[in-house]
Structure 1
């Protein structure tokens, strides 16, 4: 084997691996490249050893491979560190910077739900058009309460997470067009208002709020966040501000993707509440109190932790932060 020719053919990859090993921080793509080069250089070392071994070259490549193996492990640690950074900086910063959108969305949703519910309570004849008296009575007597214990708690919780995450993803994805997001929110609002009106008309308001509030405070807030973010995405191209329309949409779109991932965790917590706390034999005030504490903890996370994260320059746009761009607030 012509050792000099072999070195010339592959030395560029060795130098690239050396550069990656020396870097203090690697992106996920760079970690993948480091692992790929590690495997290639390992093959090169085997060929050199079996052909015309050069002790100095063999020792140098062996040392490089040992360092690359340790660096690959550090790269995997970076992924976990990045996940920690997401939940301590990026996600809460996104929630804080978009707070006006999801808070106003929530207030409008709640106001409309009470208006619709109040109207149905004042006009019970309208309910007959939406269900037979027997169906409405069955909803009051059994269906509404039994829903929360209809399946084993674990499978019920998993189904709730998937369903809520899907609704949130729709709210955000449809945000490009704006009106479909409003449609999802209105449909959800009507369903809650209708069920509440039926329960109130049958003197079961205590049961309704006792069952919906323990998990609903957090769950509905998650829906409000998704709806607000979706509407913010729509507004990003309607009124892009200092950015171009494409840049504004790309920036808010990357923030929105992060919010979807964060909301999965929020919905997992609300699903645990709905599957284990809502149908529990605890008195209503205790169940509602547990839900309220968890909800207030989320508000603290979004508004206090989020404010602190935003003050350090975090926006939830990881791509822009990693490139060191000048970031523009979406307040």
Structure 2
């Protein structure tokens, strides 16, 4: 090879790669998009140059220089960056909202099963009165009668703390079960959990409406229910996502389809569990506490419904397109 001509042609690119490496010394993210594209292109050319020098040249100094240049650029592209905790949390929240939007079909199916079963139970009790013996089993009768009395007791701060701790430790179990048994049951287990919980809600709603206290039920369930039921529905979506990958893997192996769906399913499951934890103190301090005014309950219901709706539909919209772009880049550049 003609080393002088080679050096004359390639040295400007090596100098430019060195400049970009200096600029990206702290983080590759400091480079503008056009600079990043140039950085990757020059890095690949430098790797080609290094391979050429090693095979067709005896210039050890040049090979050493190019090896150091490529190693430095490689370390900048593929090194692990440590982001502040706040940035990590914001990224996790953005990923949650983005995943819910992308997987809205599975979540809508979950909502359909849950709400559909609630409406089914309500309609059965209206048009088939004899179904009450099935929908209100003996072990459920006592709870229904307590609700029909339309009374709540005031709770002390200690009682509320204890109740919140109980709900926080108990309620996430439903979400975890709804999604974790999906693959083993082809989604039947997920649908069964959603169906049974929907039946309970529909049955209790009808029983309260029959004594003119449906409003009382809503005011004492929905303050935390908006968040908690959202968690149940999102976890059901995670379960259906896994079930669909198992039932319809397409051209992929089922194991590969499950692995791919599992990434989003895990995000949805964690989201559901977090929603359950958020709902727990609301349930413990507000929903079942007679000292809380109904006006505050109503404001909380509409406020959380509007807030969650705005969050799911609008938060970190730019993350959606960025995530789609990053999926086409090497992992280390994301």
Normalised TM-score (structure 1): 0.65
- Residues 320 and 244 of structure 1: CA distance in aligned 2, closer, same or farther (over 3 Å): farther
Distance 2:244 2:121 in 1: 27
The 8 Å contact of residues 211 and 279 in structure 1, kept in 2 or not, is answered as: yes
Q: From 149, 156, 166, give the equivalent of 1:141.
A: 149
What SS does the aligned partner of 2:215 have?
A: helix
Q: Give the alignment partner of residue 308 of structure 1, picking from 301, 312, 318.
A: 318
Equivalent of residue 90 in structure 2, options 84, 96, 113: 84
In the alignment, which of 158, 163, 175 is matched to residue 168 of structure 1?
175
Distance 2:155 2:318 in 1: 38
2:279 paired with 1:274? no
Match of 2:194 in 1: 185
Contact 1:157 1:272 (8 Å CA) reproduced: yes
Say whether 1:94 aligns with 2:99.
Answer: yes
1:65-113 deviation line (CA, Å, top 9, x unaligned): xxxxxxxxx976556643331112x211111111122123213422321
For the pair 1:205 / 2:201, whether they are aligned, the reply is: no
> How much has 1:172 moved relative to structure 2?
1.2
Residues 97 and 291 (structure 1), Cα distance of their counterparts in 2 relative to 1, 3 Å cut: same
8 A contact 1:273–1:291 mirrored in 2? no
Q: Shift of residue 189 of structure 1?
A: 1.0
Q: Deviations over 1:241-288 (max 9, x none)?
A: 464432221122122222222333222222222222223434435313
TM-score normalized with structure 2 length? 0.64
What does residue 230 of structure 1 align with?
239
- 1:323 matched to 2:331? The reply is yes
Question: Which residue is 2:119 aligned to?
Answer: 114
Q: Does 1:287 align with 2:297?
A: yes
Aligned partners of 1:147 and 1:163: how far apart in 2? 22
Q: Report how many residues are paired.
A: 253
RMSD: 3.6
Q: Distance in 1 between matches of 2:27 and 2:333?
A: 20
Partner of 2:274: 265
Q: Which of the pair has the greater relative contact order for Cα pairs under 8 Å at 6+ separation? A: 1
The answer (yes or no) to whether the contact 1:181–1:227 under 8 Å persists in 2 is: yes
Could you tell me which residue of structure 1 aligns to residue 38 of structure 2? none
Structure 1 spans left out of the alignment, 5+ residues: 1-21, 26-73, 327-331
Corresponding residue SS for 1:107? helix
Residues of 2 paired with 1:147 and 1:282: CA distance?
8
Match of 1:194 among 191, 203, 206: 203
Q: Secondary structure at the match of 2:181?
A: helix
Q: 1:146 to 1:194 in 2, by over 3 A?
A: farther
